[in-house]
């Protein structure tokens, strides 16, 4: 049957060829004669490698190799520069050769679901046109910072892996609209996540998250999935007030910050000559009560956002716990705010 399909395709100079579910062990050699081929469907077979001759398919933009027997990323991909859509789901791929990625810089969609990947190479940043990346149901324990250089990404699917943290540089993915992270081991979301102002769907269900980043309410989410996390609950208990003993670095940083507000300050001019000091000061935060600057997290608190009223999104929760940073117990003990201290379990 597959031979008849091939002959018809060759005779008709076909642009689309569907060989799904034909029990093929290898790609027929005649495929290389289909110079006009744009889409090649080979899913649900038992293919384990691709012939080098496939590099002659210069017009091929879509290739579906899902549910086959690949253990490695085919090396011929380095020559298949016209590919835009690549499906490799349901194989046995354990690693991605960094060298191969250099030929796939025009990819817009890469589907690697249901494989055996434990890591992604730093060279994934070469896929500069990628808009949709899906690596669900693998064994990823981390993702490289370089994934955040894929600034055209609009969808990132990493459900059911072994992730514990996300790169802090995730804020660089400014075009990201959908982020799926359910069923991992993530215990904290980075503050930089809140820079994703185009994000509309965030799925972090089934992780180990207790509290959300401080600027979560500035996201324009339409849907939030956070069930099956050990989220903080509002239980009032007596707190033991402590005296702050600020380290010298903290005292200095707070003093400099106040001086920097004075445009005529000599210290303001001097700090411009010290880039390392400026970089350190840039890591500081504003107190949620007094709005004064402080360098290190002195007192981490939580506020409970009414999801329906304040976020206006689809979510099973009524209240969402969000981080709040205060500069001192003095601010914490002021009346009029609704910030709560985080009790250590």
What SS3 state is found at 316? coil
Listed residues 112, 136, 162: the one ending a domain: 162
- The number of folded domains in the chain is 2
Residue 303 lies in a domain: no
Instruction: Give per-residue pLDDT as tens, 245-280.
Output: 777 877 777 777 777 777 777 776 777 777 877 777
Does residue 272 belong to any structural domain of this protein?
A: yes
Q: What is the pLDDT of residues 101-154, one digit of tens each?
A: 989 999 999 999 999 999 999 999 999 999 999 999 999 999 999 999 999 999
Same domain, 17 and 149: yes
Considering only 2-11, 20-29, 230-239, 259-268, which range has the smallest mean pLDDT? 2-11
Distance CA 343, CA 233 (A): 10
For residue 46, give the CATH number of its domain.
Answer: 3.80.10.10
Q: According to the model, what pLDDT value does residue 6 have?
A: 62
d(CA 236, CA 329) in angstroms, rounded, equals 17
Give the strand pairing for 340-341 and 299-306. antiparallel
Give residue 236's pLDDT. Answer: 52
The verdict on 10 and 120 lying in the same domain is yes
Q: Which of 117, 141, 162 is the endpoint of a domain? A: 162
Whether 34 is covered by a domain: the verdict is yes
> 33 in a domain, yes or no?
yes
Assess whether pLDDT exceeds 50 at residue 238: no
342, part of any domain: no
Report percent pLDDT > 70 for the chain.
Answer: 91
If DSSP codes are grouped into helix, strand and coil, which group holds residue 333?
coil
Residues 150 and 35 both lie in one domain: yes
Range(s) of the domain holding residue 130 = 2-162
Residue 139 shares a structural domain with residue 30: yes
Average pLDDT, the chain: 87
Q: Could you give the percent of the chain with pLDDT greater than 90? A: 57
Among all chains, which residue has been given the structure tokens 């060279």? 123
The residue among 162, 188, 216 that closes a domain is 162
Residue 176 lies in a domain: no
Say how many CA atoms lie within 13 Å of 334 toward its Cβ: 11
Vertex 141: Cα angle to 210 and 154 (nearest 5):
80
Which strands sit side by side in the sheet containing 62-64, from one edge to the other? 16-18, 39-41, 62-64, 85-87, 109-111, 132-134, 155-157, 178-180, 201-203, 223-225
152 and 252 share a domain?
Answer: no
Least confidently predicted of 235-249, 270-284, 285-299: 235-249
């Amino acid at each position: 049957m597959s031979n008849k399909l091939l002959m018809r395709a060759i005779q008709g100079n076909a642009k689309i060829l569907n060989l799904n579910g034909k029990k093929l062990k290898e790609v027929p050699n005649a495929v290389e004669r289909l110079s006009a081929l744009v889409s090649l469907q080979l899913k649900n077979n038992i293919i384990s490698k691709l012939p080098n001759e496939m590099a002659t398919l210069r017009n091929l933009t879509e290739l579906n190799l899902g549910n086959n027997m690949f253990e490695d990323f085919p090396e011929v991909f380095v020559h298949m520069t016209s590919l835009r859509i690549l499906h490799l789901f349901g194989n046995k791929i354990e690693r991605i050769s960094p060298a191969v990625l250099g030929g796939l810089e025009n990819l817009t969609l890469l589907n690697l679901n249901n494989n055996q990947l434990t890591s992604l190479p730093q060279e994934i940043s070469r896929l500069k046109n990628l808009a949709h990346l899906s690596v669900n149901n693998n064994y990823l324990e981390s993702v490289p910072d370089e994934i955040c250089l894929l600034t055209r990404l609009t969808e990132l699917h990493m459900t059911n892996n072994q992730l514990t943290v996300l790169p802090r540089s995730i804020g660089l993915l400014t075009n990201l609209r959908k982020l799926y992270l359910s069923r991992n081991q993530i215990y904290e979301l980075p503050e930089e996540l809140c820079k994703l102002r185009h994000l509309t769907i965030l799925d972090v269900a089934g992780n180990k998250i207790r509290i959300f980043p401080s600027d979560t309410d500035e996201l324009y989410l339409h849907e939030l999935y956070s069930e099956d996390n050990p989220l903080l609950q509002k239980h009032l208990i007596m707190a033991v007030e402590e005296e702050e003993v600020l380290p010298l670095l903290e005292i200095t940083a707070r003093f400099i910050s106040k001086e920097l507000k004075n445009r005529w300050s000599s210290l303001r001019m001097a700090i411009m000559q010290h880039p390392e000091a400026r970089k350190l000061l840039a890591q500081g935060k504003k107190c949620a009560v007094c709005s004064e600057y402080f360098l290190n997290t002195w007192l981490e608190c939580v506020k409970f956002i009414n999801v329906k009223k304040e976020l206006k999104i689809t979510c099973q929760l009524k209240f969402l716990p969000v981080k709040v940073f205060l500069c001192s117990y003095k601010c914490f003990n002021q009346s009029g705010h609704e910030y709560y201290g985080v009790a250590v379990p």
